[in-house]
Amino acid sequence: MAQSQFDQFLQEATYQDPESDATLEGDAFYGLYTSWCFVTQNSPQTERIFRAAMKERLGSGRNGLRMTGPAAADYLLNSYQAVV
């Protein structure tokens, strides 16, 4: 069975940190996704579709996810350009 774009995103751009009370959500979560799409040359889905897919996969509430990989670096560099 082919892996969906959202499953691939979760596998490549996030990791589970069960010790953390943090949660990857909101603008940062969608921003990481769009950075991942840019880095991997995938076409991003709308924010509404993305959020529905993440809710289906992760449920609601704290998910314990952290950013990782090239998409995380791209997101952080583009989000905080004024600081650099």
Interatomic CA distance for residues 74 and 22, integer angstroms: 21
Band of pLDDT at residue 25, cut at 50, 70 and 90? confident
Long-range contacts made by residues 76-83, C-beta under 8 angstroms, separation at least 24? 78/35, 79/31
Q: Where are the alpha helices (DSSP H) in the chain?
A: 5-13, 26-40, 47-58, 69-79
The pLDDT of residue 60 is 82
Beta bridge partners of 14: 67
Read off the pTM. Answer: 0.88
How is the chain split into domains, by residue range? Answer: 5-83
pLDDT of 1 > 50? The answer is no
> Region 32-37: what's the mean pLDDT?
98
